[in-house]
Structures are given as structure tokens and as C-alpha cells.
Chain A
Amino acid sequence: MKNPFRADMEKSSSERITSALFVVIVSLFFLLPIAWLFLAPFDGQPTYRLKLSDPSFNNFREMSQNPYAYRSLLNSAIFSAGTGLVIILIGAPAAYVLSRVKFKGRDVFLYFLLLFSSVVSGSAAMVPLFLLALRFNILDTYHGVIFILAGGLLPAAIFILKDFTDSLPRSYEESAKIFGASSYRILKDIVAPVIRPGLAVIFVWAFVQSWGNFLIPFIIIRDINKQPAAVMMYSFYTEAGDAVIRTVAAFGFLYTIPVLLMYFYVNRKYGFRFYGGIKG
């Protein structure tokens, strides 16, 4: 007997093959640069091609000749960790209050947080930010960059953390309160540990955002000893304007690794998901 669905099935499987092929081609297109990032640093004669003809660590040796290379990676770490820390220290209490205290105009406030976090970008506010930094006398300082980066990321961080804190049942705090716990103890013993996965995710998010930020340190920092890796990368060019490909490859690799490791660590420990409380 003839299966009336046969033709349909064949058609759908041929469609499936086409769409799979399309996905593979598109993925390859985006994967190539990433593959290059991991191969070129170990190639003795790196070009823009994807190859590993003469494996060696020469590129890293050559990069080390640059007196500012490692220093800039350390600077990046300082900027990123500092920003992450400021975001947690300010964002977590702010989110907690916004979640727990209902006041007039709270929803409008939250709406503006979201609006400003996505609409107003750093490049649009470049000039006023520079002038502000000048006035506050924080040009060319670590904390200057950290405050400006944190200021840009805080609205989104508060918004996400507030949502996360909302999912924490109030009964946790209330039961502790009835047992006689002070507000400080409730925060320390109950709230902070329960929302820790959320804090970790936000910290990493802020870290990565700052790590990749070029504009803010480029405007604020003058001293080359304080430049982060994202800006330093820009200096690995010859006077003719060509990239010094050996240095760029090696440096790019080192620049990528910390962020990748961080993602893996957090994903392993907490998973990139938000949860609060116990499901019964």
C-alpha cells in the first residue's frame, strides 16, 4: 500500500537537509575568525589564513618584547574586576530595596533604568563624560574609568538583579525576622547567599562588558602604563598602518582566555540561569 504521507516526508527531509546546510555554512562563516584566534598564535609564520604550518611559541616571545603588553592585561583585569565589584556593591542593595520597598513612582523609575541602560550608550555621552571626568579630576585614574564604566552598566545590572530578588520569597526574610534576626543578619545569612548565583552572573557580565570596552579608557586614560588591553591592541600596528600580525595574534589569544575561563567557571558553578527559592 502506498503511504500517502510519503511524498510529504521526502519533501520535508529534503527541506531539512537544505536548512541544515544553510546553518552549517553560516556557522562556518562565523567560526572561521574564532578558529583563527586559536590557531594563529601558535603558528610560526602567521598570516590571515587559517593554518598551523609551523607550531611554535615565537609569537608570544615576540609579544613579550613589548613592555606594555602584560601590563595592559593586568590593567584590564583591574578595570573589569573593579567595575564588577562596584556594580555588586551598589547594584545589589539598590535592587534589594527596589524589590522590597514599594514607593510612588517605582515602576516609572524602573522603566527609565531600562530605557537608559539600552538607549543611552557610552559613545553618545562621550563629550559630557569627558568633561565630567575633567571636573571631578578623575582623568587618567583607575577609579575614574571604573566609576564611568560602572555608571553605564549599573541601570541594567540593577534591573536584572531586582527581577532576581523579586523571585526570592518574602517569607524567608519574615521567618528569620520572627525568630529575632536583625535586618543585617537577614541580609547576610539569608538574602545574600540565596541570591549569590545572580550576583555571580552579574559580576561576570560586568567584568566581560568592561574587559571589552575600548572607548571609556581610551578617553579617560593618558598614561600608557594604565592602558587596558583593548586599547593596547590598537597600538600593535606598524607606522604604515598594517597590523603586526604576530603580536596581534598572540595578544588576542591572551586577551580572550580570561573571559572564556570566567564564563566556564560561572556556568559550571551556578549555571547561567536565574532561580530563587525551592520548588515544592
Chain B
Amino acid sequence: MSTVNIKGITKVFPNGVRALDDLDLEIRDGEFFALLGPSGCGKTTLLRTLGGLESATDGHILIDNNDVTRTSAGSRNVAMVFQDYALYPHMNVKENIEYPLKIRKYPKDERDRRVNMAAKALSIETLLDRKPGQISGGQQQRVAVARAMATTPNLYLFDEPLSNLDARLRLEARSFLKQLQRELGVTTILVTHDQSEALALADRMAVMELGKIRQVGSPVEFFHRPANIFVASFIGSTPMNLIEGVVEDKSLKIGDFKFALPPSVSKVANTGAKLTLGVRPEYVTIVKSSGPGVFSGKVKITENLGTHYLVLFDANETVVRGTVPDGVEPNIGDVVHFKPDPERMLFYDTNSGELI
């Protein structure tokens, strides 16, 4: 149970790469927090800095209000689960779980008690005598989590723990991790490049780009109100429509199409300002006829997503994605009319990329 405060953390590698750039972040007690971002954004560096594997160039890390920025990795009482699980191949499962306890000089009976408790919690009791090489990837992951759990840390750090599992196992492990975290109630930080994983697991999350945090919030906030174009393009299993236009007479003109701006936007956006309309394909639905606030164009591609179809159509050189329910999907080449839900439309300043 711990809070984590990150204040102005900067990490510059010897080769001059600025992996973390004056970054602030607060993680609440007992929270499942996800760090999300494309590769090279610094999310793993942040996690490793929290764990003490990298030393920060500048700034402070406080765990439960204790400054741990300059303390050694072993003294922070955090546990890290690595992407490759880092199970020692020459030790069997029991010895692997027991090893951190040995380092911390727990007596034998306490070690046994904890190994059994962790093994039971992760249903790996039958594997204790096996070597890591003799068990499956999913089981290896459980052993890695059990090893972390047996040390009763204040903070769990997960570095892409699901990326080495196949798709089916990943879903299973995901629910399992979430449930386990709920039960233990220990603050957990997860690094991932998979936005669906972050949305599914996290209580709160942060999206990073180039060593900076671009948005912090709950998965719902991320999905419905991405704070900038970068986050908007990153979140969601089907990419958000991001269409550039110009403000004209309190509406946004995109090619020949016009979309009325809500008062909150038209107040700050003058005629001639460049805005980007952001709307999820899920909120772009087919309508009978054209008119203001409606895109019209020829269907280019339809993709079957199961319960509905994703339709890509060409509205005068602008590609727009919309969805229609299964059964009424148009044919390729049809002229269709799609209306974005006005309530769900977001407007970004094209130059700064920020949400208005």
C-alpha cells in the first residue's frame, strides 16, 4: 500500500538521449496505474527509474512521502515483473520464489509459508519442483508474479508482462492480473504499448510521448475526451477520425461539408482558425440524406467487425470512418451519408494539437 509521487524527474542517458523530461506524476494508494505510449516514449525508463535500475538525472521520487531517488534498488521494497519474467533457469519454481526471501534473510519456515501462500494464490502448487524451462509461458508468468508477491512489496512494477503470451492467454492473464491486484490492493504500475490492455486493466493511466506525459486520467476519460491529437490517435481499437478543417461563420468547414461548432468552441475559435475534428467511428452512423453536419461520399472499404461493419468512405478526398450495424452494410462504391454524433464531436487546435 503506497502512494508514489514523481516530481520533475529527468533522465538523460550518456549518449544524450533525454528519455524522461521534467516529468510529474502522482499515483494513488492501491491504484492500478498504466503507463502507455509508443516504443521509445520513456515509459520503461520511468518504470526502471522507479525500481532503482536507472538513476534519475534530476528530480525526486517519493514512495509514501519518503524520498527514494538516491536509494538503492533493493531498499525500496518494490517488486518488478519483467517482460521476459527473468526466472532463473537453474533453479526450480520453488527456489525461484524463495530466492528473494533468502536474500532478505527470512527464516526457513517463514520462507516456506510465503512460498506456499504465493503458489496457492497463483495456482502453481503442482509446478514447484519444475524448472522454468519445463513450464509454459503462461505458467512462467504466474511464477514471476508469485515471486514478486511473496516479498509483500509496497509497489508492483510490471514491464509489459503480457506481451510474451499468445492472444488467447493474454486475455486470460489480463483478467487474472486485474483480479489479483484487486484482492491484494497493492499499488501497481504497469507499462504497456497496447492501449486496449491499458484501458482494460487500469484504474487510471497516463499516455507518454518523448519523455513527457501527454494526458493522465481514467480509461473512460481517455476514450471519450482525449486531451490532444496524439492521444486521440493512440487510443481506441479503431483509430479516431481526425479531420482538418477551417472555421467559418461559427462552423467548421471541411471541404464542402459544414459542421456547427458548439458554443464553447465557437467562443474561442475565430473565422479562419484551423481546427481538427475528432470523432470515433463508433459515433459516426449512417443517415438517409445529406445536409449540414453530414458527410457524403463513396464507400471504399467495408470491414466486418462481428456485430457491426466499419465503413471507410471517401468524402471529397477526405477519408472518414463510420460504423453500421451488421445486416445493413453498404456495398463498395455506394454513395452514403454519415452523420457524426454532435455530442461526441471533439475539436482540436490543429497547430497545438490540444483539445478545445
Contacts and interface: CB of A to CB of B under 8 A. Distances in A.
Contacts of A277: 84, 89
A4 interface: no
B69 to A, nearest CB: 16
Interface stretch (A16-24, A33-41, A185-193, A207-215): A185-193
A193 B100 CA distance: 17
Interface in A258-280: 277-280
Contacts of A193: 88, 90
Interface in B123-176: 132-133, 137, 140, 151, 164
A12 interface: no
A180 B103 contact: yes
Contacts of B53: 174, 177-178
Contacts of A109: none
A85 interface: no
Given A189-B99, A194-B89, A278-B89, A175 B80 contact: yes
Given A174-B82, A193-B90, A180 B74 contact: yes
Main DSSP-derived SS at the A contact region: helix
A112 interface: no
A194 B132 contact: no
A278 B78 contact: no
B104 A172 contact: no
A97 interface: no
A180 B84 contact: no
A119 to B, nearest CB: 33
Contact of A169 (B86, B99, B103, B104): B86
Interface residues of B, number: 29
Interface string A154-169: 0000000000000001
Interface in A144-158: none
A25 interface: no
A171 interface: yes
A179, A185, A189, A278 — most chain B CB neighbours (10 Å):
A179
B103 A278 contact: no
B103 A185 contact: yes
A182 to B, nearest CB: 8
B52 interface: yes
A177 B89 contact: no
Nearest to B100: A179
Contact of B87 (A178, A181, A278, A279): A278
Given A171-B86, A278-B140, A280-B140, A178 B103 contact: no
A113 interface: no
A178 B140 contact: no
A94 to B, nearest CB: 22
Contacts of B75: 180
Contact of A280 (B76, B80, B137): B137
B177 interface: no
Contacts of A219: none
A8 B105 CA distance: 73
Interface string B55-96: 000000000000000000111101110111111111000000
Contacts of A185: 103
A176 interface: yes
Nearest to A280: B137
Contacts of B80: 174-175, 178
A181 B53 CA distance: 13
B73 A172 contact: no
B297 interface: no
20 contacts: A169-B86, A171-B84, A175-B82, A176-B99, A177-B52, A177-B73, A178-B53, A178-B73, A178-B80, A179-B79, A179-B103, A179-B151, A180-B73, A180-B100, A181-B103, A193-B88, A193-B90, A277-B84, A278-B89, A278-B140
Would you list the 10 A-B pairs with minimal beta carbon distance, nearest first? A180-B74, A179-B100, A171-B86, A175-B86, A171-B82, A193-B90, A181-B103, A178-B73, A278-B133, A280-B137
Interface of A: 169, 171-172, 174-181, 185, 189-190, 193-194, 196, 277-280
Given A178-B52, A179-B103, A179-B104, 9 more contacts: A178-B51, A178-B79, A180-B73, A181-B74, A185-B103, A194-B90, A278-B89, A278-B140, A279-B133
Interface of B: 51-53, 73-76, 78-80, 82-90, 99-100, 103-104, 132-133, 137, 140, 151, 164
